Amino acid sequence: MTRIGFAYNQKPDQEAPRDGGDVEAPRPDEEPPSSAPARSSRAAAPSVAAEHGVPDGGALFAAATAAPAADPAADASDEFAEWDSIATIDAVANALGALGEVIRLEATGDFPAQLRETRPDIVFNIAEGLRGVNREAHVPAICEFFGVPYSGSDPLTLSLCLDKARTKEVLAYHGVPTAAFALVASAEEIPALRTRIRTVHHLTPAHVVPSERPLHLPLFVKPVHEGSSKGITEKNLCRSLQELEQQIDFLLETYRQPVLVEEFLPGDEFTCAILGNGDAATVLPLVGMNFAALPDGALPIYGFEAKWLWDRPENPLEIFSCPAPVSDVKRRAIENVVLRAYRVLGCRDWSRIDVRLDAAGTPNVVEVNPLPGILPNPEDNSCFPKAARAAGLSYDELIQSCLRHAAERQGIALPGQLVRPFARRAMASA
């Protein structure tokens, strides 16, 4: 029987697994904070939310961020927010159990010793890590050190994709569309940024890379090493130099990391799930963002307010459409850009790529997540499982498919056969 190691980070405020598991609270599908200073940022955020007049969420937010700002480490709810709950861990383990003996390997300090002692045939990895800009690469790097095969992208790709600016540089070098951008590491670099900002649009020659193009207002800013909901509110859309400089200063001080400045893309937004490798990689049905579902006057941004304040269990936002209602021509254009990005960045087995259309309707890559969120409960709006369901794959089949792609890539035998998602959908409708 195949011995499957299962590497994960479990939320520390939860007890041992119970039969059936608990359904976890909704959370972003992105990465945890990269540093201790970042973990204190939520203490400052209520005043930001209040400036937007956020409805029906202030009390909830205040309760969630009640840890003293003077002690960043005390804000454990934020520090470990992106680790997985018992419900997700149990659901993944149950899915993997159909393919072999599952060995749970929690990615704590003794993970190397556990791995060396158990020596599984392959590791299924969803561990996000905790500290540093290479945190998502820690488990794969340890697996490589001990010569143990594992699922998903390698350490280089995981570290690269967690750095939004480096990701955009690589994409731009290979001609994959991405918005013009700048990286600001300190307040002293803001004057240089001003020299790139133009008030009138002019055609920029194609050979000018996005990191060197003139920038046109409005601009969107975000921390370079965080997930899309960390440090992102409606204040991040800056229409003037004054707004831009104020928000850059705020993010630099709050998150203690460089700030990515991008031209705002005004078109539709999509989240794209990819399964497989090489020419066989497949884009699952597109998940489209329905910004019309946001409160009146809200900006077309899926950020903090939408994820944490407006999307409530008692009044959920109908923010996602899957399959997205787009023409075949637009769908093929999005899939083409997504697959190019997937291959250029060296993604393997699965990833989620966010795309937004520019004013001309061209798909631009916004972010790449090689460790996609996989919450099992459909009510949690986890985009990758949502796309898999639309392709005819159950949650168990999604998890098993990822492991099968990894095993196939490395010549490891698993029981049964790899079922392609669209073939599975066709079989179901036959």
CATH number at residue 238: 3.30.1490.20
Point out the least confidently predicted range of 11-15, 50-54, 57-61: 57-61
Judge whether 71 lies within some domain. Answer: no
Instruction: Tally the domains of the chain.
Output: 2
Please tell me whether residues 280 and 248 are part of one structural domain.
no
- Do residues 37 and 45 make contact, with C-beta atoms less than 8 angstroms apart? no
Point out the least confidently predicted range of 185-189, 222-226, 396-400: 222-226
Judge whether 153 lies within some domain. Answer: no
Averaged pLDDT for residues 364-381: 92
Please tell me whether residues 221 and 285 are part of one structural domain.
no
3-state secondary structure 82-111: CCECHHHHHHHHHHHCCCCEEEEEECCCCH
Task: Count CB-CB contacts under 10 A for residue 162.
Answer: 29
First to last CA, the chain: 33
pLDDT bracket for residue 380 (50, 70, 90): confident
Judge whether 60 lies within some domain. Answer: no
pTM: 0.81
CA dihedral (105, 111, 113, 115) in degrees, to 10, reads: 50
Please tell me whether residues 252 and 281 are part of one structural domain.
no
Please tell me whether residues 201 and 298 are part of one structural domain.
no
Judge whether 257 lies within some domain. Answer: yes
Judge whether 8 lies within some domain. Answer: no
Please say which residue of 217, 245, 263 terminates a domain. Answer: 263
E strands in 290-384:
320-321, 350-357, 363-369
Q: Nearest Cα to 184, choosing from 264, 247, 230?
A: 247
Please tell me whether residues 296 and 196 are part of one structural domain.
no
Q: Does residue 425 register a pLDDT over 70?
A: no
Judge whether 363 lies within some domain. Answer: yes
Tell me the CATH number at 334: 3.30.470.20
270's CB contacts (< 8 A; 6+ apart) are 286, 287, 288, 289, 324, 326, 334, 354, 355, 356, 363
Q: pLDDT averaged over the chain?
A: 82
Please say which residue of 213, 229, 263 terminates a domain. Answer: 263
Please tell me whether residues 189 and 303 are part of one structural domain.
no
Please tell me whether residues 410 and 276 are part of one structural domain.
yes
Look up the domain containing 195 and give its range: 176-263
Please tell me whether residues 309 and 383 are part of one structural domain.
yes
Judge whether 56 lies within some domain. Answer: no
Please tell me whether residues 407 and 339 are part of one structural domain.
yes
pLDDT, residue 131, reads 83
Give the DSSP letter of residue 200.
S
Judge whether 358 lies within some domain. Answer: yes
Please say which residue of 263, 295, 311 terminates a domain. Answer: 263
- Do residues 130 and 11 make contact, with C-beta atoms less than 8 angstroms apart? no
CA dihedral (306, 132, 343, 274) in degrees, to 10, reads: -40
The partner residues of 269 in beta bridges, in order of sequence, read 356
Please tell me whether residues 285 and 211 are part of one structural domain.
no
